[in-house]
Amino acid sequence: MAGGAIGVVRSPNIVHAALFLIVVLVGAAAQYIVLLAEFVGITQFFIYIGAIAVLFLFGIMLTRAPMGSRTDFDNDQRWPAAIVAVFLAGVLVALVVDAFGNDKIRLDDQLLETSRTGPVGDSIFRNFVIPFEVVSMLLLAALVGAVVIARRD
């Protein structure tokens, strides 16, 4: 996953970068599954790889799909960017280790039960139904906006 992430920014070819992004997304889905969030992991796979990554590739190929390498993807800010990335990674690792460093997940029946699809659905549509509806309204508004911008007539 980390290799894929480095590939995304290092690749001189935009299609390769998009393909590396798929590796990263598969890694994220695998992490969800390791964390017992099977439903979230598979949703990640479905939405991000089946739809969003395909849409990326589709868009790139429809507009410009250069073969071979190009050098103009790099700009002068690569060194500051690298420093910021390393700094951010350091801060995140320090924070996570500080917060959860000694926590261990105890794999018992209760934990397994909450990771099943039924309880996940219950909590979305019972405890978190208002955020869920707000998000869906936001996405609907974004969809309508995209149609309005794309249609010039």
Partner 1 sequence: MTSVAIDIGWGTILSIKTVVVLAVIPAGAIILGYTFLLKMMSHMQSRLGPMDPGGFHGWFQLIGDGIKFIQKEDVMPQRADRRVFALAPAVVVIATFMVFVVIPAGPDLIVADLDTGVFYALAVSSLSVVGVLMAGWASANKFALLGALRAGAQLIAYELPLLLAVVGVVVQAGTMSLQGIVASQQNGEIFGWGGIGNPFVLTQIVGFALFLVAAQAELTQAPFDMPVAESELVSGYMVEYTGFRFLFFFIGEFGTAFAFAGLAATLFLGGWSIPHVTDVPVMNVLGPLVLLAKVMFVAFVMFWARFTYPRLREDQLQAVAWKYLIPIGLANIVLTGILKVVF
Interface residues with partner 1 (CB under 8 A) are 13, 15-16, 19, 22, 38-39, 42-43, 45-46, 49-51, 53-55, 57-58, 61-62, 65, 67, 116-117
Question: What letter would DSSP give residue 48?
Answer: I
Question: Cβ 136 to partner 1, closest distance in Å?
Answer: 15
Measure the CA–CA gap between 4 and 48, rounded to whole angstroms.
15
Supply the minimum distance, in Å, between the C-beta of residue 121 and partner 1. 10
Smallest gap, in angstroms, from Cβ of residue 32 to partner 1? Answer: 12
Q: How many CB atoms lie within 10 A of CB 12?
A: 14
Nearer Cβ to partner 1, position 59 or 77?
Answer: 59
Closer residue to partner 1, CB minimum distance, 103 or 126? 126
Least distance in angstroms from the C-beta of 49 to partner 1: 6
Retrieve residue 67's tokens: 């073969």
Instruction: Count Cβ neighbours within 10 Å for each residue of 122-138 and write b for 16 or more, e otherwise.
Output: eeeeeeeeeeeeeeeee
When the beta carbons of 61 and 89 are compared against partner 1, the nearer one is: 61
Q: Do 17 and 11 contact (CB within 8 A), yes or no?
A: yes
Q: Tell me how far, at minimum, the Cβ of 95 lies from partner 1, in Å.
A: 31
H helix intervals, 35-128: 38-44, 54-63, 78-100, 109-114, 117-126
Nearer to partner 1, 67 or 148 (CB): 67
CB atoms within 10 A of CB 39: 17
Cβ nearer to partner 1, comparing 5 with 43: 43
